[in-house]
């Protein structure tokens, strides 16, 4: 089953509670929360306090994508704020295995994220430690960028590795996902689709989610 994870980054920041309810009504499975520190990525977004207030308003699975340096310093705060998944970028982790253990010890599902240029070999020895791999299909930092097609063979390769090892690890794709690119990512083997502009960026969130689901129906 393919799951949708609308990214709050594209929502109306002046009424986030309402925006989250719209996603819930649209029947999506996860809420993707982009945490940026102005250091690992050029942009700054929000922190655990915001995640915590939204947690009290929603039953969606909270998918916290940490685009921050030294993620270990903040993992406990995001866990306490109600994250269901926490993704850390392999590019930010000196001791990736330890960081993933740190996430799991907090009772949160651990995920690892890779920039488009980062090879799959960097996660070869931690695949059994994660519930999900997040493959960036844009360079992290901003919404509304164009899907990088060169990542498609990487998705397919990762799907092959996961299946050959008999693991049940989700593959999430993030960046430039819309009705044109979603089918390509799903065909390659992705099963969780993050979408900012294509869902929250649209006037009708339910219709936008349906359009995205329709685009991958039957694959």
Asked whether the beta carbons of 6 and 32 are under 8 A apart, the reply is yes
| From candidates 65, 189, 208, 216, binder to ligand DX5 by CB under 6 A | 65
Residue 192, both tokens: 């969780």
The residue (of 19 and 34) whose beta carbon lies closer to Zn ion is: 34
* Cα 40–chain centre separation: 16
> Cα separation of 70 and 53, whole Å?
24
* Cα 172–chain centre separation: 6
| 6 interacts with ligand DX5 by CB under 6 A | no
Q: How crowded is residue 133: how many other Cβ atoms within 10 Å of its Cβ?
A: 27
Q: How many residues touch ligand DX5 (CB under 6 A)?
A: 21
> Cα separation of 152 and 147, whole Å?
10
| 65 interacts with Zn ion by CB under 5 A | yes
| 174 interacts with ligand DX5 by CB under 6 A | yes
The residue (of 10 and 79) whose beta carbon lies closer to ligand DX5 is: 10
Window of 15-23, 124-132, 167-175, 199-207 that interacts with Zn ion by CB under 5 A = 167-175
Q: Please report, as ranges, the residues that interact with ligand DX5 according to CB under 6 A.
A: 7, 9-10, 32, 34, 65, 138, 140-141, 143-145, 174-177, 194-198
Catalytic site positions:
34, 174
């Amino acid at each position: 089953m393919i799951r949708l994870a609308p990214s709050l980054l594209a929502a109306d920041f002046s009424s986030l509670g309402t925006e989250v309810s719209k996603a819930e009504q649209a029947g999506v499975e996860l809420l993707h929360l982009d945490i940026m520190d102005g250091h690992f990525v050029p942009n700054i977004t929000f922190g655990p306090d915001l995640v915590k207030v939204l947690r009290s308003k929603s039953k969606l699975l909270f998918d916290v994508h940490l685009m921050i340096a030294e993620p270990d310093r903040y993992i406990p705060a995001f866990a306490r704020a109600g994250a269901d998944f926490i993704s850390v970028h392999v590019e930010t982790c000196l001791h990736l295995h330890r960081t993933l253990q740190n996430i799991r010890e907090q009772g949160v599902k651990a995920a690892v994220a890779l920039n488009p240029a980062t090879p799959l070999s960097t996660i070869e020895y931690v695949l059994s430690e994660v519930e999900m791999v997040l493959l960036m299909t844009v360079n992290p930092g901003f919404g509304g960028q164009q899907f990088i097609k060169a990542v498609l063979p990487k998705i397919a390769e990762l799907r092959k590795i996961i299946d050959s090892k008999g693991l049940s690890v989700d593959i999430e794709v993030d960046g430039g996902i819309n009705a044109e690119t979603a089918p390509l990512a799903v065909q390659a083997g992705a099963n969780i689709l993050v979408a900012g502009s294509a869902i929250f960026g649209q006037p009708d969130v339910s219709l936008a989610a349906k359009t995205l689901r329709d685009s991958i129906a039957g694959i």
